[in-house]
Amino acid sequence: MANKTITRQELSSPRYEYGGDDWVFVELDEAMSFDANFKAQAITQEIRQNGPDGLIEVAPSNASYLIQFDPGTLHPDDLIDELKALEEEIDVSDYQWEARIFEIPVFYDDPWTHETVMDFRDRHQDPDSTDLEYSAEINGFDSVEAFIDHHSGAPHMVTMIGFVPGLPFCFQMVPRDEQIEVPKYEQPRTATPSRAVGFGGAFTAIYPVPGAGGYQLYGRTPVEVLDVDQKLSAFEDSMVLPNPGDIISFRQIDRDEYDSIREDVEDNSYQYNYSKIDFEPQAFFEDPHGYNEQLLEVLD
C-alpha cells in the first residue's frame, strides 16, 4: 500500500441557508470528504476568533457548519457575506492544527451491545445477521474478524462533536476506496448502552450516555468520552474528551482487559493514553498510510 494518496475533492458550491431568524447553516458539500471537513474546521475556527459581534454558537459539523447569532446585533446577510469571503480565502492544505491522538480500547462484539442488537432485529435491514456480520458482508469482507481488523487498523479523525454532549463522529483516515460505509437502522433503536461504538453512513460514533440511536453497533469501550463531574484527569479542562480535529485510534481488547480498565475508570485512576501532535493535512493527503504509522508511533 506504499504511497497511496487521498484524492482531493472538488467541493460543490456551498449552500448558505437561514435557520429561522437566528441561525445560519452552511453546507460545504453534500458528500463527506476530508476537504469539506477541514474547510468547516478552518472557517469556524477563524470566525470564532475574529468574527463580528453577535455570535452565540459556532459549531463545525462533518461537511457543514452551523452558527447562531443575535439578529439584533448582526444581520444574517452580513454574516453570510463574511462567511463567503472566508470560504474564498481559506486553503485547507495550508491550515494546520495541534491535535491530540487518543487510544480508545474497544471490546468488539461485547455481550452488552450484542444483547441490544438482538433486541432490535425488527428495525434492522437484515434481521437474520448481527450488525457486525451485516456490515462486514456489505463491505466485502470475508469475516467479522477481518472487518474489525480494518476498523481498528487505521486511525479516525474526529470530524464533529454533537447529537449529545461529547459524542464524537469519527471518519477513518484512509483513502475513499478503503472507507467503510453502512446504513443506519431502518428505524432508530430506543436503547443503546453507554460507551457503545457504532457506525452509520461513513462515521464511527461513541455514545457517551444511554439513549436512542440509529447506528450499527460493533462494540463497547470501557473508557468515558464524557465526564460531567470531571473526575478523570484527562477531563481537567473540559467535560468532553476529544474535540473536532483530534484523532482516535481504536485498539481491540478482550473481556479481561475491559473489566480491568473499567475498574480504573470507576475509581477515577485511569490514565488515558494520548499525545499531542501537529497535524499537517498536506502530508496526510500525500501518504495517508505512512502518515498514520508515524502518528501511531507517538502513542505509548
Partner 1 sequence: MRILDGGLVTTVQDTGRYGHYHIGMPPSGAMDQFAHKVANWLVGNDESDATLEMTYMGADIEFAEDTVFAITGADMDPSLNDEEVPLWTAVQAEAGDTLAFEFATEGTRAYLAVAGGIDIEPVMGSRSTYTLIGIGGHEGRSLEEGDTLPIGSSSNAEEMIGTSIDEDNQPDYATHEINVVMGLCAYRLTDDGRDRFIDAEWKISDEADRVGYRFNGPDITDMFEKREQPFGAGPDVTNVVDLGYPVGSIQMAGQPIILMRDAVTGGGYTTVGTIVSPDRDLLSQCRTHNTVTFNAVDIDDALAMRRERDQTLEQIRTSLQEDSPSTDD
Point out which residues bind partner 1 (CB under 8 A): 15, 17-23, 25, 27, 29-33, 44, 56-66, 68, 71-72, 75-77, 160-167, 169, 171, 176, 179, 181-184, 186-188, 200-203, 208-209, 211, 214, 226, 228, 238-240, 243-244
Q: How far is CA 126 from CA 6, 108, 109, 186, in A?
A: 32, 20, 17, 10
Straight-line distance from the first to the last Cα atom of the chain, in angstroms, rounded to the nearest whole number: 25
SS3 assignment, position 149:
helix
CB-nearer residue toward partner 1: 101 or 182:
182
Residue 49 CB contacts under 8 Å (≥ 6 apart), including other chains: none
CB-nearer residue toward partner 1: 110 or 227:
227
CB-nearer residue toward partner 1: 36 or 295:
36
> Is the separation of the CB atoms in 169 and 211 below 8 Å?
no
CB of 71 to partner 1, least distance (A): 6
Give the separation between CA 290 and CA 298, rounded to whole angstroms.
14
Give the separation between CA 203 and CA 32, rounded to whole angstroms.
10
> Is the separation of the CB atoms in 274 and 299 below 8 Å?
yes
CB of 53 to partner 1, least distance (A): 14
CB-nearer residue toward partner 1: 12 or 294:
12
CB-nearer residue toward partner 1: 56 or 118:
56
CB of 111 to partner 1, least distance (A): 25
The vertex-31 CA angle with 288 and 82, nearest 5°, equals: 95
Give the separation between CA 215 and CA 204, rounded to whole angstroms.
8
Residue 118 CB contacts under 8 Å (≥ 6 apart), including other chains: 130
CB of 98 to partner 1, least distance (A): 17
Nearest Cα neighbor of 163 from 59, 248, 69 is 59
DSSP 12: P
CB-nearer residue toward partner 1: 76 or 219:
76
CB-nearer residue toward partner 1: 208 or 219:
208
Q: How far is CA 184 from CA 112, 213, 238, in A?
A: 19, 9, 30
Q: What type of residue sits at position 85?
A: A
CB-nearer residue toward partner 1: 55 or 277:
55
CB of 240 to partner 1, least distance (A): 5
SS3 assignment, position 2:
coil
